[in-house]
Amino acid sequence: MNAQTPDPSKPGLAIGIDIGGTKVAAGVVDEHGAVLAEQRRRTPGRDPRAVEATIVELVSELGKDHQIDSVGIGAAGWMDLSGGTVLFSPHLAWRNEPLRENLERLLRRPVMLTNDADAAAWAEWKFGKARGESRLVCITLGTGIGGAMVMDGRLERGRFGVAGEFGHQVIMPGGHRCECGNRGCWEQYASGNALGREARELARANSPVAQELLRVVDGEIDSITGTVVTELAQQGDPASIELIEDIGSWLGLGLANLAAALDPGMFVVGGGLCGAGELLLTPTRRAFKRNLTGRGFRPAARIELAELGSSAGLIGAADLSRSPRTS
């Protein structure tokens, strides 16, 4: 989509790969953050070996037409501080997985491994919406909620490398069970998964407002996903618009919580759910203002949509693979 005429002799090219709960995106990225070639796949189930095989395949295909200096992976999991091991992934099957070592053996070259949300935040800070922001918080709304911080131009990864898991802050004690094992996590209320679940429940309740949702999936309620709802909302379906407003209310509340704790200058919101655009952003900003502690007596962070869209993760992973380590 973002492909430009490839220039095999161009120096400083890197492959970035973004592994999410549902999609794998890979691209060849130049030193200015431009994507010269891009490929996407569905995440091949939860088997770690299948995910590795997909990565190897993508690197091999993208490497055919380009001279690649380095490879960077942003993965939907919690990395240890050394960037070698995926400690845990709520949405994939990694548990203490030595992913970097496995990939370096398979690819026969050094690999930079980082969290997918860190990669996306890095791209937005370096090439996208948040250039120059000294205190940036990024939220990636996909299957769940990814989170990352860039402070004074450095990714803030915490003491053990797993900072930024904002999606697993409990926002509703005793609430919905989360893939992380706990209950009431923020991402159970503000994510693509949450949007799909709420829509399916509405459809199952056989509510008269859910007619359009039921129609587009021919009554197959299990086929209603966040993407289906987002598309219907953009076509003007009132129930789908309301469902996205609900997500925005929870998103804004959670951002107000993060502002209380972190006081950033800007929030950048990216990920698949951002396809909803203003349908999501307007209720989010409203709930943020409504819930910001000290409102009226403090400057408030801006809330902006990501500029690099669904390519942010791969762009950031590619860039981090060529930079000296930044945190």
| Interface residue list for a copy of itself (CB under 8 A) | 78, 87-88, 90, 95-96, 134-135, 147, 151, 156-166, 168-173, 178, 180-182, 185, 253, 256-258, 260-265, 291, 293-295, 297-299, 301
Own/partner contacts of 234-242, CB < 8 Å, gap of 24 or more, are 234/275, 234/276, 234/279, 237/212, 237/213, 238/209, 239/202, 239/207, 239/209, 239/210, 239/211, 239/212, 239/213, 240/199, 240/212, 240/213, 241/279, 242/209
Largest CA distance in the chain: 60
The string over 112-139, giving b where at least 16 C-beta atoms fall within 10 Å of a residue's C-beta and e elsewhere, is: bbbbbbbbbbbbbbbbbbbeebebbbbb
CB of 127 to a copy of itself, least distance (A): 21
Nearer to a copy of itself by Cβ, of 234 and 291: the residue is: 291
CB-based contacts of 234: which residues, under 8 Å, 6+ apart?
275, 276, 279
Nearer to a copy of itself by Cβ, of 71 and 86: the residue is: 86
Q: Which of 185, 189, 206, 186 is nearest to 197 (CA)?
A: 189
Q: Which of 4, 14, 3, 25 is nearest to 272 (CA)?
A: 25
CB of 144 to a copy of itself, least distance (A): 11
Nearer to a copy of itself by Cβ, of 64 and 154: the residue is: 154
Nearer to a copy of itself by Cβ, of 102 and 182: the residue is: 182
Nearer to a copy of itself by Cβ, of 37 and 259: the residue is: 259
Nearer to a copy of itself by Cβ, of 150 and 239: the residue is: 150
CB of 76 to a copy of itself, least distance (A): 13
CB of 86 to a copy of itself, least distance (A): 9
Asked whether the CA dihedral 259, 262, 264, 270 is positive or negative, the reply is negative
CB of 270 to a copy of itself, least distance (A): 18
CB of 235 to a copy of itself, least distance (A): 31
